[in-house]
Amino acid sequence: MVEAQAQPLVPTPCRIRRVLRETHDTFTLELDADPRPAFQPGQFAMLYVLGVGEVPMSYSGDPAAGRSIVHTTREVGPVTRAMARLRRGAVLGVRGPYGRPWPIAEAGGEDVVLVAGGIGLAPLRPAIHAIAARRGDFGRVVLLYGARSPADLLYRRDLDRWRTSTGIEVGVTVDRGTPTWAGNVGVVTGLIARAPFDPRRATALICGPEVMMRFAAEALRARGVPAARIWVSLERNMKCAVGLCGRCQLGPTFVCKDGPVFSYDRAERLLAVREL
């Protein structure tokens, strides 16, 4: 279990060092943090836009690099839209890290399959960095990534680098192609049946819309990956992020504290419970 910081509910003011526009509705913020909180891939922070509100946001940068923390955000509502208007030098309140990480150490020696849909690549990116840094500790590593269209693809430079210089096999697909798109067209779950990994020794990490995670988990199960070796990251509205307020509660489970990363044998039941 990863402990939250000493004063878990008090945000630390962090200045924006850089803003990167990723796609028409998605952007990445690099925030100065000194000292930088030590986070593990799959964990999240609570980001507070002053006077607007606070939202959970996964870390999406390299857990081993630099003095900044990195978050990639899709604009969907009031807080994320206000965040999108912030420029270099503006201040955000930040608290965390929170939650349980992806089980990367446990996957040592095994094949790893990462399946990402849309903004779901952001919470998986720290895991890919960590795996690439210790590439020799794993068997085959496969990243399957689906976006709505070529213009919606995130982290294009990373995708090229992972493909060419880290020994990670990268499969990319889009729901709708364009005349200049020469790659796969179709849903990301369609890539699972032919992906090069051994299901008897594979760990799978999935992040994306819930329906996509369900179909991906079922396709992995159909290939023979046990549900206990398939991991998904759940999104539920959150307020405290430390298991106090009950906002993210599903029965006896607190998504903020017991998750957001769950094995699919546990998450399958949770995914059936709709947001309150």
Amino acid in the structure at residue 71: H
Of positions 17, 74, 163, 247, contacts ligand FES by CB under 6 A: 247
Rg (CA), the chain: 18
Q: Which of residues 113-132 bind ligand FAD (CB under 6 A)?
A: 119, 122-123
Interface segment toward ligand FES; rule CB under 6 A; list 128-136, 201-209, 225-233, 248-256: 248-256
Q: Which of residues 222-241 bind ligand FES (CB under 6 A)?
A: 238-241
Of positions 1, 6, 10, 77, contacts ligand FAD by CB under 6 A: 77
The residue ranges of DSSP E strands in the chain, in sequence order, are: 12-23, 26-32, 44-49, 53-58, 68-74, 91-98, 111-117, 141-147, 168-174, 184-185, 202-207, 230-233, 249-250, 253-254, 261-263
Nearer to ligand FAD, 122 or 202 (CB): 122
Residue 79 interacts with, from ligand FES, ligand FAD, none (CB under 5-8 Å by kind)? ligand FAD
Give the 3-state secondary structure of 140-198.
CEEEEEEECCHHHCCCHHHHHHHHHHCCEEEEEEECCCCCCCCCEECCHHHHCCCCCCC
We find the least distance from the C-beta atom of residue 182 to ligand FAD, in angstroms, to be 28
Residues that bind ligand FAD (CB under 6 A): 44, 53, 55-58, 60, 72-74, 76-80, 119, 122-123, 235-236, 238, 260
Interaction site with ligand FES (CB under 6 A): 238-241, 243-249, 254, 256
